[in-house]
Every structure is written in structure tokens, then in C-alpha cells.
Copies of this chain bind each other. A is one copy, B any other.
Amino acid sequence: MQHTPLRSHKQSGMINGNFRGKDIISFDQFAAEDLHILFDLAQHMKQIVVNNKTSHLLEGMLVSLLFFEPSSRTFTSFAAAVKRLGGQTLEMQNPEIVSSVNKGESFEDTIRVLEAYSNAIVLRHRIVGSAQQAADAAEFSPVINAGDGNNEHPTQTLLDLYTLYEKFGRLDNLTGLLAGDCLNSRAIHSLIRGLSLFPNNTIYLLSPQQLRLAGDDLVSLSARGIKLVEIRSEKEIPQQADFWYWTRVQKERFASREEYLQGLKETVVVTPELLRTYAKSEMILMDPLPRVDSVDPAVDSDERAVFLRSQIRNGLYTRMALLALVLGRA
């Protein structure tokens, strides 16, 4: 018998309280109870890191990091998550350059080679749907989507929600402001879906004319039970907002340089003045990063600006938790 399965066949679809062996492709796989399981464990992971404890939870485990696209935060935090838990990584960045991909190897074969050598595959790829394609190709190893084009980036949403959960102790009855590129930002779309899993949340949306949430997105997201309110100027920012979530305007989304500059002109940038005028004291300012023309570095010293503090660190804790759960070690 030449073929010994290394692991039992993996499963797809809804988490339903059981992460073990599951592909993590879309945020839609998560229900409220799954988030609670994950966030409880993330809390525990934070204690490991903050207290510099040694963990052997992933000892003997290898996780492939296959990144076809540039990334610093996501790549580094996944690598850190594996290593903080005593596991090891197989790192492949720009595989078009360094691997057999440039000899014409198919994407599916690359995935199946990696799954032969590792316990899980974390994938970042330019192409929408590539994470599902990888999950279909992999017979045994779970695939974790670390961003497939502008489609899904579920672990970004997990860390965003965890940041709110840790701050407010709840994910319901929140008022938030989402700003910047509401049309294209997968982080914004996904965060709205996440918050719609919990009752009584209200989201205000502020963006340049050309970057408003698409009409059908507005309809389909509202249908999930969350209250969405579009505003047209900073003057309409609600004083009771518990959080602001700012995103950058992406140059490559515009048809011409003129339209881009016009878009930028209409974009509201967070300044100390803006915070002073419109934000309450017990709110937090978030940004999925990188921030480019979205948040003025002058606000960094404000304790409410959490994007380079707890938000970025929560990416580590939630990914540690997710890996431990998917790999069946928690």
C-alpha cells in the first residue's frame, strides 16, 4: 500500500463550533458562537505573548506561508503566530520567482506539493477565488485565506472584531464610522458582515462620491439586519460613535490621475483636530494599514489611536488562536 494518508480528510463549510481541519476561506463560515470560541482563545494567546511565555502548542507542526502578493503585516504576523507557539514555517514569497511556478507548474500542483510537507497552508494571492481553488486542490491540509484579491481576507476581520470585543466587552449595540474607500475595501465589507452577526449595531459610512458603497451592496448588507447610514461630510459624524475605522484610498482603483486626485481631495483625513471635534473620549480609532493619506501621524500619540497598538497586536493573537484551533491543538 504505497499511499498512507497523513491525516484524515479535511472538511469545508461552516465552522459550527469545530475548527479542526477546516479550510478558512470566507468570513461567512463564522457564526457568533465561533467568534466567541476564537476570541476566548485569543485572550489566552495574548497572555502568552505579553508575559513572554514559552509555548509548545504547535511543536512538530509545519505551516506553509505561500504569498504570491507583497504583504508585511499579514505575512509577518502569521509567521510570528506559528513561531510563538513553537511551530515552524515553510516560507515561500514571490513563488513566481523562486519556485517551479516559473517552470510552468500548475497552481494545484504547487498546493499539493506544499501540503505534502506541511500541516496547513496560509495563502495570499492576487486572484479572486484562489483560496477556494487551493482548498479544493489540497486533500488533507487545511488552507487559510490570507487575502485573495479584493475578495476575502477573513483574518483581517477577525482581528478587527476582536479589537472591538476586547475594548467594549461586546459586539452588539455598537455605533461605528467606516471611512475611506467604502466601494472597494474588502476590510470594510467584511467588517459590516461581521457586525451584522450581532444585534443593534449602527454603521455610518463616509467616503468620496466615487468610493461610496455600491447600491446593491448597501441593499444586501442592510438585509442582514445591520443599520447602515451614509453621510456626506465630517460634520455628520455622530458624536456617539464607539469606533472609527479608516481605510486608504487606493490609487490603482481610479481610471485616471485626475480622478484619483479629485478622490483624494474629497477624502477626509483623520487629524488631531478632527478627533478633538467629533470623537468622544471612550472611542477607538482603527485602520487596517497600511495607512497612506488616511490617518495623520500626528494622531499616533493619542491613546485612542489603536491601529499601531492593540489592533496590530490583535492580528497576532487571533492568528495564533485560529492556527491552534484549525490544527487541532486547542
Contact = CB atoms under 8 A, between A and B. Distances in A.
Interface of A: 2-4, 6, 46, 49-50, 52-55, 59-62, 64, 67, 70-73, 75-77, 79-80, 83-84, 88, 90-95, 97-106, 108-110, 112-114, 116-119, 163, 166-167, 284, 289-292, 297, 303, 306, 308-310, 312-313, 316
Given A3-B303, A98-B93, A60 B72 contact: no
B290 A116 contact: no
Nearest to A87: B83
B310 A113 contact: no
21 contacts: A2-B306, A2-B310, A3-B309, A6-B313, A53-B60, A60-B84, A70-B100, A73-B113, A76-B90, A76-B113, A76-B114, A77-B117, A83-B88, A104-B290, A105-B291, A106-B297, A109-B290, A109-B291, A112-B308, A113-B289, A116-B313
Contacts of A50: 4, 6
Contact of A113 (B59, B64, B70, B72): B72
Contacts of A76: 64, 90, 92, 113-114, 117
A92 B65 CA distance: 13
Contacts of A163: 2
Contacts of A308: 109, 112-113, 116
A58 to B, nearest CB: 10
Contact of A98 (B3, B60, B67, B100): B67
Nearest to A52: B60
Contacts of A77: 117
A290 B73 contact: no
A104 B60 contact: no
Nearest to A88: B83
A312 B60 contact: no
A105 B167 contact: no
A99 B113 contact: no
B312 A116 contact: yes
A284 B3 CA distance: 11
Contacts of A117: 76-77, 80, 313, 316
Given A109-B308, A167-B2, A316-B117, A62 B84 contact: yes
Given A103-B290, A163-B2, A312-B112, A60 B71 contact: no
A72 B76 CA distance: 21
